[in-house]
Amino acid sequence: MNSPSSIAAREGWPYVVLALISALAATYFTGLGVLSALCWLTLAWVFHLFRDPPRVVPVVPGAILSPADGRVVKIERARDPYANRDALKISVFMNLFNAHSNRSCVDGVIRNVQYFPGRLVNVDLDASSADNERNAVVIDSHGHVVTLAQVAGLVARRILCYVKPGDTLMRGQRFGFIRFGSRVDVYLPTDAVLNVAPGDKVLATTSILATLPKP
């Protein structure tokens, strides 16, 4: 598992270096003009996008933490196709200004990891859950099944997942990354108690999406 960094996630280092070189080159050849200003702004945005700060894990029994920074775009009862069960689905959308590090929302053991190449569909559309490039991590959390599905967005299809079946995850532990606009679908047991509503802004690890009943 990758440790968070307050500077930038390692997945963003190539982009940071490229943006820095571009900003320095623009400043050297054109001076402090519009082009160099745009390049320095781009560098600042890249740093912002790939930030990966440590987060404090709430001490709340049965809490389901947000796996990503972003906004809750949908809450519905749905079929979890990765664990073959009925579930409560919470979708968190990450825009181009949110940090894109993904973290586990529960403690547990990974039961299965499934990757699907898929195609590119706007992540705001229902079809994206089944058609886009995606990666699903099914977790057994003390008798409860929780599924985290990373769904790629329109801008770039690049999902990274660093775990495998049998691995143990702790709440707030980093397990993956998605670059440039994406969504994470969280499938919970149907008796989970919601703590958020559509439209709410959430932060990975620190925001509680729902709570699980005692097994």
Q: Which of 136, 137, 135, 212 is nearest to 167 (CA)?
A: 137
The strand pairing partners of 202, in sequence order, are 70
129 is catalytic: no
Burial class (CB within 10 angstroms; exposed 0-12, middle 13-18, buried 19+) of 203: middle
Using CA atoms, how far residue 116 sits from 3, 16, 128, 193, in Å, is 26, 28, 12, 30
Residue 102 CA to residue 148 CA, distance in Å, equals 10
Contacts of 31 (CB under 8 A, 6+ apart): none
Residue 126 CA to residue 91 CA, distance in Å, equals 11
Query: Catalytic residue among 91, 101, 141, 182, which?
Result: 182
DSSP-derived 3-state class of residue 126: coil
Catalytic machinery residues: 182
